[in-house]
Amino acid sequence: MKRSSARAVWLFALLGSGASCAGSSARADVILYDNLGNGAQGYRSVTVLTWEAQRFNSASNTLALTSATLNLDSESGGSGTFFLQLDTDAAGQPGTALATLFTGPDPFTGPFPQSGNILFGGLNQPVVPNTNYWLVLGENSGASFDLRWGSTSNLTGTGSGFQTTNATTNNQGGTWSVSSTTSHVMQLTATAAPEPSSLLLGLFGGCALLARRWRRG
């Protein structure tokens, strides 16, 4: 292979690896909301008509939601499916549904009642930076099992998007009752976008190394 061709191949490989390294080092999971450690002091029932919601903020550097962990409880009996939904914020209450993050049957098996932290992972839901959203939990039409979301009056938590405001509807989102005296127990994680400066730094570093190698060759 000619020296010029070899240099061209090496150049593309170097720049590609530099951009990849910069991107991988800048991307990392971040906690948006976390009060799982507080535990549940009570549970709010979710039905086909009655839905529960918790507000959070997307923070300044969020790319996408990657997981949601909710403290849930369920009684025995019944059938059907429930959903976990992402809504916009409309003047301080849940607004338009943006995406269904999960839909499926009762998450518990075995003897009832049971309760625990249920992970909904593998998400890749884009969110707009510095924006309020709502996580909404409800049952789909025809469901008849008793699913409940844990809540706590301990209003402490961590995460750049942690908020204490929650909401309840008894008519499938037609009207909402908003409160900040308790918070639903959950954890939200997201993937941070790589900073443009980090990507450029990786590329410039690759170019500088290439220039030194070129002069020596």
Tens digits of residue pLDDT in 71-115? 999 876 788 999 999 999 999 999 999 999 999 988 776 554 578
Query: Mind listing the pLDDT tens digit for each residue in 185-217?
Result: 999 999 986 555 444 444 445 545 445 555 555
Query: Mind listing the pLDDT tens digit for each residue in 135-175?
Result: 999 999 999 988 999 999 999 999 999 999 999 999 999 99
Cβ-proximal residues to 95 (8 Å cutoff; 6+ apart), any chain: 87, 88, 89, 134
Q: Distance between CA atoms of 201 and 204, rounded to whole angstroms? A: 5
pTM comes to 0.78
Can the peptide bond before residue 196 be classed as cis, meaning omega within 30 degrees of 0?
A: no
Cβ-proximal residues to 204 (8 Å cutoff; 6+ apart), any chain: none
CA nearest to 143, candidates 97, 73, 77:
77
Mean pLDDT, residues 37-56 taken together: 97
Instruction: Give the chain's mean pLDDT.
Output: 82
